Amino acid sequence: MGYIMLNLRSKELTEGVERVVSRSLLRAVGITDDEFEKPFIAVVNSWNEIIPGHKHLLSISQAVKQGIHEAGGVAFEFNTIAVCDGMLQGHSGMKYSLPSRDLIADSIEIVVEAHRFDGLVLIASCDKIIPGMLMASARLNLPAIMVTGGPMLPGKFGDSNNLTLSDLRTFIGAVVSNRMSYEELEEVGKATCPSVGSCSMMGTANTMSVIAEALGMTLPTCGTVHAVDKRKHLLAKESGRAILRLVREGGNARDIMIREAFENAIRVLLALGGSLNAVMHLIAIANEADVKLSFSDFDELSRDTPWIAAIKPAGPYTLKDLDEAGGVPAVMKILKSKLNLEVATVSGKRLRDIILEAKIMRKDVLRALENPYHSEGGIAVLRGNLAPEGALVRQVAVSPNMLRHKGPARVFNSEEEAIESLLRGDIKEGDVVIVRYEGPKGGPGMREMHQLASILIGMGLSQSTAIVTDGRVSGSTKGPVIAYVSPEAAEGGPIAVVRDGDIIEIDIPERELNVLVDEDTLKERLKEWKPVEKSVKGVLARYRKLATSANNGAVLLE
């Protein structure tokens, strides 16, 4: 196949008298002598049997490996971990979600570097796994390509044929407030997730899938082709072939993931109203690629990127609608005047060529730049004396009457405390619920406050009550939830000294988040402040020592 003259890293395992032991061990796993001359490709799979987004990934990896073999490579599959954010909501298990991202990146680095692979294909579907794999790709800087597992189909119940988890979670509050019975909730729940795949709204999983494509790290359309669609396996096989071309041509991950590509990905995120988690993940991925990103980059681009697709939870459409509309290539075709068109992609084509071939199939789903849902992008960065280093809000998922809000603080040091108070009826219309010590260090692990937000919405309080937190929010969260407040409480950020009754002022159009307490009073409170430290051990204790703030991507100190 013409690979003998390539400078393959795998030769460190297969060539020379001193490598006789490695060759013997490779023969023990079925590698023939003629395969010693071929590129060794790592197929990194996050398959497991507990997550719908990952249950089907074994069949996808089989297609990838077939493509690798057909193109003249040798495929070696290994697994990394994956957790399901959807199952972790509202309990201590959510503390482990964000730390898993960095563990995933580390585990891939260890296996790929230890075994001197020549390239890698990464297979994943969900929230922290895709960014963890992209972080590893950038860090390793080898030929790499992603295959995302694809969304599940939307659910059908009664008159609705587009149910998603973002709908189901708000019904919890409806049960709590006696507007729906438990039995009705269970019936809806049985219909909401009808197939394998990542949850069918624009949550973090699907946001990161489309971002991987917008970065140029997947083949075109991969980000929205559904898990049960035969096109997914065809894309997987073609991805296996494509990695051999990248190895042959010397196309490394950082040749793809350059600053201009990150700016393109941010524009797509903003145009689709994607998950706030993507901000932190993109900063972390860029850090591995030696590209500097900050909250400010997202806010600057958001002011110049219209929101053109109202995908759940910020609108009526699902990922199935987005796929039918033409997927990411169609989105980028609409955005082409704002994109860097000469960036390379793993397909071998420049973005300009992909856009040229793209078709916009449903103009009800994807609006023109001249007729957007909102003149700005889906995400806004707020600053003020409550968030000197920034906070994030999904502005397109906030009702107009809550874009500006002023109300008394109700302060809690954990999500559980806030939920208990909400269920007791202690939180009233107009309040601002402050949930702190849930950041990267404070949690530790930076839990999502989605359970709290969903119950609040289901109880009908989202039109009058806001949440402000140094924790995260789910990609399926909607309503007036301001999160990722930096610095976090555990690092002595001003959110640590907010007191019950302090007036909080939120002004999303003006990008302001303030506590209406004079500067001298805040300084005096901070002098007296003592951090709340939650008792943890093992990986969470190590994570607390190493994690940085949200505005730095919550990356780990080296």
Catalytic residue IDs = 474
* Rounded CA separation 278/258 (Å): 17
What contacts 237, CB < 8 A, 6 or more positions away?
A: 63, 64, 66, 67, 70
Are the beta carbons of 235 and 222 closer than 8 angstroms?
yes
Report the DSSP pairing between strands 387-394 and 379-384.
antiparallel
Which positions ≥6 away from 449 have C-beta within 8 Å?
A: 415, 418, 435, 438, 467, 469, 471, 472, 473, 477, 481, 483
Distance CA 101, CA 85 (A): 12
Q: Are 496 and 366 in contact (CB under 8 A)?
A: no
What angle do helix axes 539-546 and 97-114 make, rounded to 10 degrees? 90
The whole-angstrom separation of Cα 311 and Cα 203 is 9
Q: Residue 156: enclosing H or E segment and its boundaries? A: strand 155-157
Distance of alpha carbon 268 from alpha carbon 249, whole angstroms: 28
b/e sequence 295-318, b meaning 16+ C-beta within 10 Å: bebbbebbeebbbbbbbbbbbebb
Residue listed under structure tokens 């390239």: 119
Unique residue bearing structure tokens 């402050």: 434
Q: Is the dihedral of CA 394, 400, 404, 405 positive or negative?
A: negative
- Amino acid letter at 74? V
d(CA 452, CA 426): 14
- Neighbouring residues of 357: CB distance < 8 A, sequence distance ≥ 6: 220, 329
Nearest to 481 by CA among 277, 283, 175: 277
Structure tokens at 490: 């555990």
Number of Cβ within a 10 Å radius of residue 357: 10
